Chains A and B, each alone.
Chain A
Amino acid sequence: MDTILKINNLSAGYGEECVISDISFDVEAGKKVCIVGESGSGKTTLLKAIHGFGGVTKISGSIEIGKDVLLGVVPQNPGGSFNPIRTYKAQICEALKSNNIDFKIEEVEKTLQILGLSDARRALSSRPYELSGGMNQRMAIATTMLLEPGILLCDEVTSALDVKTAGMVVEQLLEINRLRNTTILMVTHHLGIASKMADFIGIMKSGRMLEYGPAKEILNNPQNEYTRNLLKAVPKLKVS
């Protein structure tokens, strides 16, 4: 398998203050990777360091992204990444035009439907402030997918949602991965969600990567004390 993203001994932070240090891991193309950690563990900083927006400065180490691989980013706040008072349609058109993607609005609607939005038509003519958090979040993910990214970076995309809606978002991400073979790198504080969807899991604490490996190994045979505690704390979830 090709490595699509390679992080080598990365240290980064805000200004001179180091938030994450000495992080290394590889992401293989087409895989779903979850980085799990509590608030303040540095997982969002890691994501920001990868996509380069959000004021994070790289202090040492390197981030290698595969050739011609586009990043798609879904931020934490559902709908927050869209202008609240303009229709999705207008904003999607702008995004596609900016990325030089030819499109017809019917195609967009169809694609959105395939990507898990059954009522795409209504969503397209709505403004973000009119829709629910879950709907906005799924819209944000689907719109990001319209730009045909190679890797989808998701920042806590389920944390603001209720359990049922969070489940729908996870299903949507799995569907995207299945249909398009898009690599997914998601950070979350929820080990349960990671165990449900990830091929690979990384555990972060205090700015360091405690362990990283195939999901099965991490879940069944954790090496680190902290990971064991995390696993114990997870409410029993059906892992399919």
Chain B
Amino acid sequence: MAKQILKRVLGLVLILLVLSFMVFGIMYLAPGDPAEKRLTSQGVVVTKEILQAERERLGLLRPFIVRYADWLKNVLRGDFGISFKDDLPVAPKLIKGLKNTIWLALSSLFLALIISFPLGLLSAVKKGKLVDHIARLFSFIGNSLPNFLISVLLMYLFCIQIKVFPVIADGSVKGLMLPALSLAIPMAGRFTRQIRSELIDQLGEEYVVGMKLRRVKGRFILINNVLRNSLGHILTIIGLQIGTLMGGSVVIESIFRWPGIGKLVMDSITARDYPVIMGFVLIMGTIYVVINLIVDIIYRLLDPRSF
């Protein structure tokens, strides 16, 4: 088992190396000259000499591979470079944003699960009944709603019509509600659907009939066996949705002005602040692959057959 995990960890390091290379490569090829951008944003009149000096100072004139190695070395030490916009180090900005984003992500994940888990369970157990139809309708519609639309509609309803929540989510708990809900609704739709189909598969397993024949109590069958056996798959489903959640949080944070990493990156895209964008992709990518590695390990631990 340790061997398999080690293999996966090595694979992960490789994937992250490729990611870092791609991120750096795209930035390298990206249109626009960071030196020029930087000077103009600081209000300097750009002449050829100043531009060249600035490029020299930023180390932009060195060969690609040297710059990549240098950048990677710094990143590994936790130094994501200096922001083009205000000359401040990027790492603290990213970390501050990340904290808020994690709060938002966890609350929306929590909301999505408390909606979708009971719904998926009920829907699977009462397959074909009214509850199932309602749950499927909800999951279908939820899955079809873009989160930016949900957030605009929620904002219209709760902030402007009923005035319960603040329009700008300033980082308070109350401000967290609507952004979290906007992210949670489509996610809950997908979860409900996937949890339902997973549980239906598991309920159709031969052992369920065997247990009924032994007159084992329904709650034992459901909790100790069906749910227990599905746990690995459900965790995998959640792990894969984290990616969608990350993309969604960029949109939602921009709308509600939630001070997370997503809003930071949108502001940086407008300002062509490359170090921030690079750091963002790298951090999100790393978190995503690490989470899915952990999920994979837990999955294996839960199902001894997978060794």
Complex A–B touching at CB under 8 A = yes
A40 interface contact, C-beta 8 A:
no
> 8 Å CB contacts to B: which residues of A19-75?
51, 53-54, 73, 75
Contacts of A83 in B (CB 8 A): 207, 211, 225, 229
B305 interface contact, C-beta 8 A:
yes
Question: How many A residues are at the interface, by size bracket?
Answer: 20 to 34
Decide: A77 and B209 in contact? CB cutoff 8 A.
Answer: no
> 8 Å CB contacts to B: which residues of A128-165?
129, 140, 143-144, 147
Contact residues of B with A, CB < 8 Å? Answer: 206-207, 209-217, 220, 224-225, 228-229, 303-305
Q: Contacting B213 at CB < 8 Å: which of A53, A77, A86, A129?
A: A53
B61, chain A: closest CB distance, angstroms: 60
**CA A147 – CA B214 in complex, angstroms?**
8
Contact residues of A with B, CB < 8 Å? Answer: 51, 53-54, 73, 75, 77, 80-86, 90-91, 94-95, 97-99, 127, 129, 140, 143-144, 147
A-B contact pairs, 29 of them (CB 8 A): A77-B206, A80-B206, A80-B207, A80-B210, A81-B206, A81-B207, A81-B210, A81-B211, A81-B213, A81-B214, A82-B207, A83-B207, A83-B225, A83-B229, A84-B207, A85-B304, A85-B305, A86-B224, A91-B211, A94-B216, A94-B217, A94-B224, A95-B215, A95-B216, A98-B215, A129-B305, A143-B214, A144-B214, A147-B215
- Known A-B contacts: A53-B209, A73-B214, A85-B229. Give 13 more (CB < 8 A): A75-B206, A75-B213, A80-B207, A81-B210, A83-B207, A84-B305, A86-B225, A94-B217, A98-B216, A98-B220, A129-B304, A144-B214, A147-B214
Contacts of B206 in A (CB 8 A): 75, 77, 80-81
Contacts of B213 in A (CB 8 A): 51, 53, 73, 75, 81
Contacts of B224 in A (CB 8 A): 86, 90, 94
Contacts of B305 in A (CB 8 A): 84-85, 129
Contacts of B220 in A (CB 8 A): 94, 97-98
**Nearest-neighbor residue (CB-CB) of A81 within chain B:** B210
Contacts of B214 in A (CB 8 A): 73, 81, 95, 98-99, 143-144, 147
Contacts of B217 in A (CB 8 A): 94, 97-98
Contacts of B210 in A (CB 8 A): 75, 80-82, 140
Contacts of A147 in B (CB 8 A): 214-215
Contacts of A53 in B (CB 8 A): 209, 212-213
Contacts of A91 in B (CB 8 A): 211
Interface-central residue, B212, B214, B215, B224, by most chain A CB under 10 Å? B214
A73, chain B: closest CB distance, angstroms: 4
Decide: B209 and A81 in contact? CB cutoff 8 A.
Answer: yes
A24, chain B: closest CB distance, angstroms: 25
A21, chain B: closest CB distance, angstroms: 25
A34, chain B: closest CB distance, angstroms: 20
**Nearest-neighbor residue (CB-CB) of B303 within chain A:** A85
**Nearest-neighbor residue (CB-CB) of A153 within chain B:** B213
